[in-house]
Amino acid sequence: MSGVKLNRTLGFWAAYSASVGLVVSGTAMVTLGNGYGVGGPAFSVIAFFALIVILCVALSYSELAAMIPGAGMIGEYTTPALGKLAALFAVLAGYIVLVGTDGGTNMIVGGQSIESLTGIPWWISVIILLIALVAVNMAGVAVFGKVQTVLALGMMMLLGFIGLWGMTGIGLNSQLDIQPPFTTMTWDKQFGTLGAAIWLFIGMEFVAPLAEEVKRPGRTIPMAMIFGCLTIWLVDLFFGLGITKYIKLDELASSTIPHVAGAEAMLGKAGLVLMGIVSILAAITTCDTYLMAIPRMLYGLSKEGLLPKFFSYLHPRTRTPWYGILFVTVLISIVLIYAGLNQANISFITTMINVACATWLMSYIIAQVNVIVLRRKYPNQPRPFKTPLYPIPQVVGILACIYMIYTLYVNPVVLQISLATIAVILIFAVIYLKSTGQKLFTPVPLEQVYKGINARSESEDLTVHTDGISKA
């Protein structure tokens, strides 16, 4: 199967849909409603600062994805900069932890939304949806692109419509109009929620693993990420400010589905139905994005020898990483079973979000450090996209990520779970790399990374400009 390559068929809208498909998730909408409930309309300011931070991160991922357009994403960006241990940690801490804490939870939110609208038990809906999404992803990237584009664009437009309707108040009962205080806490405490606000955008880089299947990745991927972040912020702003006019803040803060509660308070039965549909679409697009992106990261790492070889298997007809897809399906299923048996409440959900967010931010720090290191090592290497005002966005992004990790680790439960998770990841990474005779900290030459991408990609001709390699 060594001659089978990923298929380069996706355009801008499929890339954009992959970028927003994970971000506008069930847990992101829970964070949005909970943030406005805890902080009031002033949470809009915190969300704006989170947007600035995520745009700094997006610029770094855009430069890396354009320079090294490989499916291994953060793993392949890191090996030529910091070595294999950092690369393996970045993927496992940032993305496998994510699936293990967030994947099943989003499906449950979607299943419960279906149950509230139809009466069908949520677990039946979840099983049907999961089987259908696995089939879509195994069928090929072109099928994924069509399905994801329709679902993600429909979800974004519907969420924005609900928010605008609530803000204008057209046709709504004016007696329900509530005027909450702009802020419920001091501004230093407000900024302490920045780590939660970043969850509204985190995951925008999930388009990057499609680099070997996107047309003109050096242009398409940066546009998809940046446009995705801006539209998500605008839609969230409309929706957040809209619902705070029609439901008390403490009700939003305590609800496990604040986005649904807010929409129902604002629009009655129509709001319940519309937001139920949004929640279902969010669950589907989130799971679909997991099944698309994570297997391709595992595929890229496996090709570079960082993970077992079976992850690099591609089906000869569909050219999709079947074993990676099945692995992600198992992770999601484990979380579904655990969360279903334990009847998770809002505390459980927010704790899992914060654990995933903290380790994900560590991956973001590594990505931004990669940009700085690769600029020094390969200063003249062609970069189809270059970070404006370099290195200011990287410095701002790294410092902001460190601050947000600190705010998340104030919670001792989040800190304990994260430390245990990080320890397991590092132990596995060290044992695997040592057992396969690989060096932990020695960077891989960029020529070697390009050779791997060229061998498995369509219509790519990546070469290293040797005159641009720093001898330092």
Q: How many CB atoms lie within 10 A of CB 408?
A: 24
Q: How far apart are CA 188 and CA 173, in angstroms?
A: 36
At what angle are helices 122-139 and 141-168 packed, to 10 degrees?
130
Domains plus CATH for the chain? 12-460 (1.20.1740.10)
CA distance between the termini of the chain: 40
> Pick from 132, 106, 134, 129: which is nearest to 25 by CA?
106
Q: If you count DSSP H runs as helices and E runs as strands, how many of each does the chain have, helices first? A: 20, 0
| Per-residue pLDDT, 470 | 39
Q: How many CB atoms lie within 10 A of CB 107?
A: 30
| Per-residue pLDDT, 145 | 56
Question: Rounded to 5 degrees, what angle do the CA atoms 442, 444, 445 make?
Answer: 125
Q: Is the peptide bond before 391 cis (omega within 30 degrees of 0)?
A: yes
**CA-based torsion, 381, 387, 389, 391: positive or negative:** negative
- Per-residue pLDDT tens listing for the chain (472 residues): 445 544 556 678 878 877 776 666 777 888 888 889 888 999 999 999 999 999 999 999 999 988 988 777 888 899 999 999 999 999 888 888 777 677 777 787 778 778 877 888 878 888 888 888 888 777 765 565 566 667 777 777 888 888 888 777 776 655 556 778 888 888 888 888 888 888 888 788 878 877 777 777 778 888 888 898 998 899 889 888 888 888 888 888 887 778 888 888 888 888 888 888 877 877 777 787 788 778 887 887 887 788 888 888 887 777 788 888 899 888 888 777 776 676 655 666 677 778 888 888 999 999 999 999 999 999 989 888 899 999 999 999 999 999 989 988 988 988 998 899 899 999 999 999 999 999 999 999 998 888 877 776 655 566 766 554 433 3
Phi, psi for 214 (deg, rounded to 5): -100, 135
Q: How far apart are CA 306 and CA 407, in angstroms?
A: 32
Cβ(370)–Cβ(64) below 8 Å? yes
Instruction: Kindly state the tokens that stand for 65.
Output: 């994805």
Beta-bridged to residue 214, according to DSSP, are 10
> Pick from 156, 145, 162, 198: which is nearest to 24 by CA?
156
Burial letters 286-316, b for 16+ CB under 10 A, else e: bbbbbbbbbbbbbbbbbbbbbbeeebbbbbe
Single pTM value for the model = 0.80
Q: How far apart are CA 269 and CA 423, in angstroms?
A: 48
Q: How far apart are CA 126 and CA 132, in angstroms?
A: 10
Under DSSP, the state recorded for 306 is S
Torsion of CA 213, 316, 97, 136, to 10 degrees: 80
User: Which residues lie closer than 8 Å to 125 by C-beta, 6 or more apart?
Assistant: 110, 111, 114, 115
| Per-residue pLDDT, 468 | 43
